[in-house]
Structure 1
Amino acid sequence: MIPGPSGTGKELVARALHKIGAHPGAPFVAVPCGAGAAADASPYARRGIAALETRMIGEALVRSGNNRSEAARVLGIARVGLLKKIDRLGLQSSAPTAQPGPYEWWELAQGLEVAELPVLVAGSEVDRVLLTRIDPALFRFEVHSAPAGNKGLDDWMTELSAILVINGSYYARKGTPDTPFLSAGRPLGPRDYRSRHGAFVASDDFTGIRDLASERWETAFTDAHDAMVSYPLLLSGDASSRVRADDRWLANRSFIGQDAVGNIILGTTTDAFFSLNRLAAFLRTAPLGLTIALNLDGGPVAYQAIALGAYRRRFCGKWET
């Protein structure tokens, strides 16, 4: 946000940031957001302004722990003004509840589909989930690591000749895994580790997520060729969540889940609307049929790429607060 009274050059700053941003050749579109300007704007611009206000108010409420006075201070408006905006936008006077929007699966090959799931608050899109659904009987899953930290998304896609690459797990300062990790049968990461969350396991007989509340990770890794412990478990078999994280921590998110028929569902958010608790709640209501879901990682290292036939997807996260 670039605050300041009218006429102080906020748009000049925005234009300068656009020129040094990721897409300087794209058009810069200025949308006046004052009350009078919003009333005179086109329907498309009004929807954009409403979405921006919804996002800003929602994040301010999350960061302030639903303290409306503090949220108003963060936004630089009077408390009564905030309450009026909440009422006008149809928001609750608390952190907003996200709802899934309409979406469709698109089959790229037998056993592999992609989709984009809009995340809506009060009818406005505040985030989007890039989804991939895979039949594990038709595709092989592998877990890889580069401790030197010298490989990016394109490097992994090229080196592995992969159809899909997604980030996962957590790493120490020297690039070694913080959690138990199995790559082509080779164990990496700590050997002495206790987990009550989950593990993604790929073996000749089973590919999916194991709930580590009922078994040790060493047992879950038995007979696997590739595996990885991660946390938190966003959705368990009884539809509960094991998230114990600060709701003010918003970031791009990646997750891996499994539906009732055994398909693996991978997701990456394109924006930073979700805290981990909010993501867990969203996945419970999303029409994905998930029976279990495990957080992978988030922030600037949340990425997903697909290359299959003529289809290409390449996304790298940017946001973490």
Structure 2
Amino acid sequence: MLLLCGCDITTTTTPTQPPVPIATLFPTAAQPAPVPANATPAPDTGWLAGRPGVEMRRIDVQQDGKSAPLVIVRVDPAAVHLRVAYAPDEPRSLRSWFSQSNPILAINGGFFTEEYRTTALLVSDGAPIGESYAGFGGMLAVAPDGSVSIRPLRDETYDPAEPLGQALQSFPMLIFPGNIPAEIEDNGERSRRSALALDQSGRLLIIAAPSAGWTLRGLAAWLSQSDMAIDRALNLDGGSSTGMYLKDGALEETIDSFGPLPTVLLVEGK
């Protein structure tokens, strides 16, 4: 078996079969920051504006009577530049990626081996690396003109002849095109999660769940039923890999990964 670091999923060495959930390698429970006794967090901040085309929202969702917070950043692809960064020989925490790259936002990418090599295809600055998943999973694709898509690979296989500026593959799809929740067979484990989604207006939603409050199936169902008009969504490598750093004027978020990451998605200003 090929070990996938950072999340509760493994897959075979030939990436053509759906993954089988297993336990995570690292702790999945985030350490919450101290909260003053008189503080009452808002259950939903609504969309907070940064620069044009960048918004952030924090939502405290109740799952089985327990808090399961989500941090969601919504970006207009026409207003930013998306970049997949890959450094398997120099993996580092998301905090280090963010401080060294100085983007607007950074989030963890897809799955990787113990040797910090990607288990799927990615495209970084036009250069393809790795082998595409086949028949499962999905791909965030950024065309040379900056247009963005999220594609289920069971329906749209990767074409090496297609010019791509950036691309990132992961699994499973949480929501298929048309806001159809995926039929996910997970083991019911709650973990830190991260995901990407496109709404019906073509905006990219970058999602992090910093505490161990979500199953994959539960996250898919909640996103599908939310007020965010999501058309499709793709799970990223969650668990110990989950992280999000954001700094854009008054908008700020600091969720670090528990371990080093070889791949990140960066949102940069134009």
TM-score relative to the length of structure 1:
0.64
Q: 2:108 aligns with which of 144, 149, 167?
A: 167
Structure 2 partner of 1:231: 171
Structure 2 partner of 1:119: 61
Q: Deviations over 1:54-103 (max 9, x none)?
A: xxxxxxxxxxxxxxxxxxxxxxxxxxxxxxxxxxxxxxxxxxxxxxx544
Secondary structure of the residue aligned to 1:150 is coil
Map residues 301-312 of structure 1 onto 2, 5 A cutoff: 301-312=241-252
Does the CA-based 8 Å contact 1:118-1:125 persist in structure 2?
no
Structure 2 partner of 1:208: 149
Q: 2:94 aligns with which of 137, 149, 153?
A: 153
Structure-2 change in CA distance of 1:128 and 1:317 (3 Å) = farther
Counterpart check, 1:107 vs 2:57: no
The structure that is helix-richer by fraction is 1
Counterpart Cα distance in 2 of 1:304 and 1:27: 20
Structure 2: gaps of 5 or more residues: 1-29, 259-270
Structure 1 partner of 2:256: 316
Counterpart Cα distance in 2 of 1:242 and 1:23: 31
Map residues 245-284 of structure 1 onto 2, 5 A cutoff: 245-284=185-224
RMSD: 2.8
**Percent of paired sites with the same residue:** 24
Q: How many residues align?
A: 226
The structure that is strand-richer by fraction is 2
Counterpart Cα distance in 1 of 2:63 and 2:122: 37
Structure 1 partner of 2:7: none
Structure 2 partner of 1:130: 71
Counterpart check, 1:189 vs 2:126: no
TM-score relative to the length of structure 2:
0.75
Secondary structure of the residue aligned to 2:218 is helix
Offset at 1:152?
1.5
Structure-2 change in CA distance of 1:23 and 1:252 (3 Å) = closer
Counterpart Cα distance in 1 of 2:100 and 2:149: 24
Offset at 1:230?
1.1
Does the CA-based 8 Å contact 1:234-1:241 persist in structure 2?
yes
**Greater length-normalized contact order (CA 8 Å, ≥ 6 residues apart):** 2
